[in-house]
């Protein structure tokens, strides 16, 4: 099957770069007894890939209405090729986005081929029938955008729990949470008390059609992190590493990126290539506007250091969006203060002025905007002295996106353990590669037609971490 694939002229020019995926094949070698081979360091590989729903793949640039979904031979052949590559790489974890859940034939093909190769598969469609559509002939395409498929290789992990996160109130997007445990301990001479488990999230955030949707996208990530926080607390899993995979529809310049970084997550690709937060060399997507950008991430978080309370990070990210909208209106710091205080004769901002300004910035009074409670919470963060108005110094908390770290009462329950350290299980990023390889240099190859996204695969090695008891 692969031999015929390599000869396919459509991919003739990318075979050399795609063949560089070989180092990720069989990253966990086993002897016949089932134990790790001494010739290979035990590692975990993870692939995330937006496979492009057939309804969105245009076959004729002159006639934009000619879509792949109308031609079974085309969408089936392309998806067969996608599965060929996925099986060739044999990643321990596979996270797919824009999976065509509504097409039974395609679903069965993926489930049967992945299942026969040792994977457990989990699929999830968008809520409220979003993405459902009909073509010119009146035929229903089914669930199209934002649909997910996650596959876990049974040789490496057993699935302990599977949860579905439904964002009915924020763009009808979805996310999958999988709690998995290694079949064979990654670390030899392991302390029986050390959990060798991972939490994996697969998601696809809303596309930022306009800047007012920044709040929706931030809401989606906030809900994921809230759910993770609750799940970890209820199951006593605070020391378990977390991987967030998917199409984030936003680059390293965006608010979602900064929000996740403030919560202790690192981009596996950037860590592997020693890029800083300001480096933007690589791309992973050519969108429907023809722009190329880097939007696909495999985020990793180990709990070996303290992070900001989630509510604080959320408020700072929201302040960042407010500042962005003010700057977009060509307002500098002083002008922004004057805009927020509106017609107020005093040199301060009232709560009413604050709410009116957010409405003008299209950040509230919309179905996807900031809620009344969220506006109130942001106000409380900015009004440090609690006198009901913001002076210029307090306004700077919005402009410079800073909040006071008010510690919740519940967070003090482990204060007596502060200073005590404990060994925990985590991961180090060994490598990460994008395919086709040209995108790593910021180039989108014209002869690449497998998707409008590049495939990202990261390799992780298990490590022992020393964590403070309080951070756990």
pLDDT digit string, tens, across residues 118-136? 999 999 987 665 444 444 4
**What are the DSSP E strand ranges found in 75-147?**
93-97, 119-124
pLDDT at 28: 38
In the numeric block, the tokens 């996608």 are attached to 82
In the numeric block, the tokens 């890029």 are attached to 275
pLDDT at 306: 67
pLDDT at 367: 66
| Whole-structure pTM value | 0.84
pLDDT at 308: 85
pLDDT tens figures, 195-252: 689 999 999 998 876 666 788 889 899 999 999 999 999 999 988 999 999 999 999 9
pLDDT at 150: 98
pLDDT at 40: 54
pLDDT at 206: 86
pLDDT at 408: 43
| Cis peptide bond prior to 436, omega within 30° of 0 | yes
CA-CA distance, 185 to 197, in Å (whole number)? 10
Q: Which residues of 332-344 are buried (b: 16+ CB within 10 A; e: fewer)?
A: eeeebbebbbeee
Residues in the chain predicted with pLDDT less than 50, given as ranges, are 1-39, 130-145, 406-418, 470-472
pLDDT at 18: 41
């Amino acid at each position: 099957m692969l031999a015929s694939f390599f000869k396919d002229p459509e991919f003739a020019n990318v075979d050399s770069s795609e063949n560089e995926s070989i180092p990720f094949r069989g990253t966990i070698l086993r002897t016949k007894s089932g134990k790790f081979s001494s010739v290979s360091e035990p590692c975990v590989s993870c692939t995330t890939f937006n496979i492009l729903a057939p309804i969105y793949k245009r076959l004729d640039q002159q006639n934009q209405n000619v879509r792949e979904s109308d031609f079974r031979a085309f969408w089936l052949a392309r998806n067969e090729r996608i599965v060929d590559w996925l099986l060739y790489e044999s990643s321990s974890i596979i996270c797919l986005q824009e999976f065509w859940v509504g097409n039974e034939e395609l679903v069965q093909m993926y489930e049967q081929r992945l299942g026969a190769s040792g994977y457990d598969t989990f699929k999830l469609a968008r809520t409220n029938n979003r993405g459902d559509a009909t073509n010119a002939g009146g035929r229903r395409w089914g669930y199209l955008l934002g649909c997910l498929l996650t596959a876990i290789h049974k040789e490496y992990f057993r699935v302990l729990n599977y949860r579905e996160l439904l964002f009915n109130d924020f763009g009808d997007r979805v996310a999958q949470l999988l709690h998995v445990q290694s079949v064979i301990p990654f670390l030899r001479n392991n302390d029986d008390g050390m959990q060798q488990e991972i939490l994996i999230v697969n998601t696809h955030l809303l596309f930022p059609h306009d800047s007012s949707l920044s709040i929706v996208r931030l809401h989606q990530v906030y809900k994921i992190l809230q759910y993770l926080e609750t799940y970890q607390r209820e199951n006593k899993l605070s020391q378990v590493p977390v991987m967030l995979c998917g199409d984030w529809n936003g680059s390293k310049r965006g608010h979602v990126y900064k929000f996740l970084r403030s919560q202790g997550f690192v981009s596996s690709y950037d860590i592997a290539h020693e890029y800083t937060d300001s480096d933007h060399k690589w791309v992973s997507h050519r969108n429907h506007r023809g722009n190329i950008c880097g939007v696909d991430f495999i985020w990793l978080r180990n709990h070996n250091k303290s992070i900001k309370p989630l509510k604080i990070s959320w408020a700072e990210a929201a302040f960042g969006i407010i500042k962005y909208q003010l700057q977009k209106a060509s307002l500098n710091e002083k002008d922004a203060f004057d805009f927020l205080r509106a017609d107020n004769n005093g040199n301060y901002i009232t709560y009413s002025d604050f709410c009116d300004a957010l409405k003008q910035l299209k950040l509230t009074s919309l179905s996807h905007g900031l809620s009344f409670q969220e506006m109130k919470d942001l106000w409380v963060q900015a009004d440090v002295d609690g006198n009901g108005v913001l002076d210029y110094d307090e306004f700077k908390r919005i402009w410079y996106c800073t909040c006071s770290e008010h510690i919740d009462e519940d967070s003090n329950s482990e204060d007596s353990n502060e200073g005590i350290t404990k060994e925990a299980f985590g991961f180090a990023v060994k490598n990460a590669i994008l395919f086709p390889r040209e995108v790593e240099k910021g180039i989108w190859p014209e002869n690449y037609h497998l998707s409008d996204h590049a495939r990202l695969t990261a390799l992780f090695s298990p490590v022992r971490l020393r964590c403070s008891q309080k951070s756990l």
